[in-house]
Amino acid sequence: MRHQPLPIEFYLQPTQLLAKQLLGCLLVKETDEGIASGYIVETEAYMGAEDRAAHSFGNRRTKRTEIMFSTAGHVYTFTMHTHTLVNVVSGPINTPEAILIRALEPCDGIDLIAARRGKKKPVEWTNGPGKLTAALEITQSDYGRCFFEPPLYIAQGFHPKDIASGPRIGIENTGEARFYPWRHWVADNPYVSKSR
DNA sequence: ATCTGGATTGACT
DNA sequence: GTCAATCCAGATG
């Protein structure tokens, strides 16, 4: 099954809106082993210089955050402990905003995903930001790519019936920012990550 | 050169 | 519920 990447224009919308528009879209990764993909069911927006929870808070510009200052649609990956997390860069150039992809519902390459994620319940394959990167084999080598061209891209998926929003996860030490309702998910979808 | 801590996960009490 | 794994970016000297 092949998919058509969404055009670069898709990414040219305000970050919070894009974070919701991404819900239901298909995240695809092609490797030598084949194609694996999943529908995005949970995202979190990080709002650049003004957002204490963002790596780019105060326009902090480093080797890691550099890609956030680039144009919308770039791939921002970073390592969290033993896991890779993946973001969609958004906002105009020099406005370092990004959207973290937190959960997927598996679509293509179920056997591949199962093999990569080991013997566990299917719902555990992709219901977390570090899990889905392992399932699709998204790594630091994808840093700086564009989401509108293979091997890592986003395509049209389904249109969510209901979208819910609430505080982001895992950012306890960021003052007021921890309360901002910038996490968005497909209501009632079983693959949405569980909060702690 | 060295130290610190994290946008997580999985195993264990 | 708690906690270790395990590694690198970022900060500091």
pLDDT in tens, A31-78: 999 999 999 999 999 999 999 999 999 999 999 999 999 999 999 999
The domains located in chain A, with CATH, are: 8-156 (3.10.300.10)
pLDDT score at A9: 98
DSSP assignment, residue A87?
Answer: E
Answer yes or no: is A124 CB < 7 A from strand B: yes
Hey, what are A47's tokens?
């709002």
If you measure CA to C1', which residue is closest to nucleotide C9? A64
H/E stretch holding A21 reads helix A15-21
pLDDT score at A15: 98
If you measure CA to C1', which residue is closest to nucleotide B5? A81
| Average pLDDT score over chain A | 96
If you measure CA to C1', which residue is closest to nucleotide C5? A82
| Number of separate helices (H) and strands (E) present in chain A | 3, 9
Residue A167, classified by CB atoms within 10 Å of its CB into exposed (0-12), middle (13-18) or buried (19+), is middle
H/E stretch holding A42 reads strand A34-46
Answer yes or no: is A11 CB < 7 A from strand B: no
pLDDT tier, A174 (very low <50, low <70, confident <90, very high otherwise): very high
Nucleotides in chain B with any atom closer than 7 Å to protein CB: 6-10
Rg for chain A, CA atoms, rounded:
15
Cα A24 to chain centroid, rounded:
12
pLDDT score at A1: 62
DSSP assignment, residue A7?
Answer: P
pLDDT score at A196: 64
Map tokens 């920012």 to a residue.
A177
Give the CA-to-C1' distance from A138 to C9 in angstroms: 19
Residue A136: which of A183, A50, A65, A77 has the closest Cα?
A: A77
User: Which nucleotide's C1' atom has the smallest distance to the CA of A51?
Assistant: B7
Give the CA-to-C1' distance from A81 to B8 in angstroms: 7
If you measure CA to C1', which residue is closest to nucleotide C1? A196
pLDDT score at A194: 84
pLDDT tens-place string over residues A125-167: 999 999 999 999 999 999 999 999 999 999 999 999 999 999 9
Map tokens 């030490």 to a residue.
A173
Residue A94 reports pLDDT greater than 70: yes
pLDDT tier, A2 (very low <50, low <70, confident <90, very high otherwise): confident
CA distances from A114 to A25, A29, A45, A52, A154 (A): 21, 15, 29, 37, 21
CB distance A105 to A157 below 8 Å: no
